[in-house]
């Protein structure tokens, strides 16, 4: 994938890409199917605030999304029979489904690809510098499984808004992605696609309480109706996707042929990369995609939809999976 020609940018850092704008039928009414949502929602915490009522400040308690650091460590036995361990990432996340997050992250980094490589994943508080519990996950590989040490050099710090930083990281992302083609399906109609945001929103319990979390939902067609298989929420959009991918890995579902990944916000380059690594052929986002996201989707044959809301959406790539109304 070539870099964007700087001359194609305007003064505000924008660039053009071709798009098809599609309008679905008015207000399709669909009942939300059951999803594999967490047994306990992501944690929220109360904090003091002042609310202004007609010029008068009133002290109240506000429910906020929880954000804490998580360190992901990888452990393996080398050729000499000695156990080695290395910190792979520190990410700011909403606690909950930490093991899924760690597994999904390693899959998107190309450090884990098959269940037989994994011995187990566990919380390991021995390396928690803050002294708080449950903030370190150690992923143990099976004996004889050695990670790609070159990829382990991608040792970076991720925040709530950015998961890939630096040229070396971007180069490593391109190397990580498999050349395996995505599935030809699923094929969805505009009416089916237009139901996805509402199905996602109805399952976003902690967002409705706090307004502070991103969500990623995995859908498939069941009896020609979109079915939400799993939803994960997190302060980091990349973490929410990692949790979905880690869930699918733990269920033995990868690659996720004939599935749709629905995002509650924008579609960035990194989220498209994670979808491709998991074999997801279609990504739909409530918000806008970036130029790099579109370019990556085009180069891998992924269907990328943006601004999926209010019964309409834009098709930026892979329009062959959209059925005619």
Active-site amino acid positions = 162
Our CA angle for 174, 272, 202, nearest 5°, is 160
Cα separations in angstroms, 222 against 5, 34, 63, 202, 273: 43, 12, 36, 19, 26
CA dihedral 111, 114, 120, 126 (to 10 degrees): 10
DSSP 59-116: EEEEEEE--EEEEEEEEEE-TTS-EEEEEEEEEEE-SSSHHHHHHHHHHHTTS---GG
Q: With contact defined as beta carbons under 8 Å apart, do 133 and 124 qualify? A: no
The two tokens of residue 261 are 């990944």
Phi-psi region of 131 (alpha: psi -120 to 50; beta: other; left: phi over 0): left
Q: 280 has which bridge partners? A: none
Structure token pair of residue 226:
């979109």
Sign of the Cα torsion 245, 246, 252, 255 reads: positive
Structure tokens at 214: 């991103």
């Amino acid at each position: 994938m070539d870099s964007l020609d700087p001359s194609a940018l305007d003064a505000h850092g924008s660039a053009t890409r071709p798009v098809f704008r599609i309008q679905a039928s008015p207000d399709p009414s669909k009942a939300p199917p059951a999803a594999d949502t967490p047994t306990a929602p992501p944690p929220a915490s109360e904090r003091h605030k002042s609310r202004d009522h007609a010029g008068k400040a009133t002290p109240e308690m506000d429910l906020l999304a929880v954000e804490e650091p998580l360190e992901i460590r990888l452990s393996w036995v080398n050729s000499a029979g000695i156990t080695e361990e290395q910190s792979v990432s520190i990410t700011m996340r909403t606690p909950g489904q930490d093991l899924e997050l760690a597994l999904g992250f390693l899959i998107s980094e190309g450090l884990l690809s098959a269940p037989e490589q994994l011995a187990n994943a566990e919380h390991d508080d021995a390396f928690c510098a803050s002294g708080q519990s449950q903030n370190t996950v150690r992923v143990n590989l099976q004996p004889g499984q050695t990670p790609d040490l070159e990829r382990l050099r991608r040792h970076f710090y991720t925040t709530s808004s950015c998961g890939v930083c630096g040229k070396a990281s971007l180069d490593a992302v391109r190397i990580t992605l498999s050349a395996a083609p995505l599935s030809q399906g699923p094929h969805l109609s505009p009416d089916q696609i237009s139901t996805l945001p509402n199905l996602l929103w109805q399952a976003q319990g902690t967002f409705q309480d706090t307004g502070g979390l991103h969500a990623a939902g995995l859908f498939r067609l069941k009896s020609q109706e979109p079915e939400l298989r799993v939803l994960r929420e997190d302060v980091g959009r990349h973490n929410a996707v990692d949790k979905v991918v880690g869930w699918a890995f733990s269920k033995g579902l990868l690659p996720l042929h004939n599935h749709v990944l629905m995002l509650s916000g924008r579609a960035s380059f990194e989220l498209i990369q994670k979808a491709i690594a998991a074999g997801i052929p279609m990504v739909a986002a409530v918000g806008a995609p970036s130029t790099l996201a579109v370019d990556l989707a085009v180069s891998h044959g992924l269907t990328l939809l943006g601004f999926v809301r209010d019964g309409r959406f834009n098709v930026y790539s892979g329009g062959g999976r959209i059925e005619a109304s």
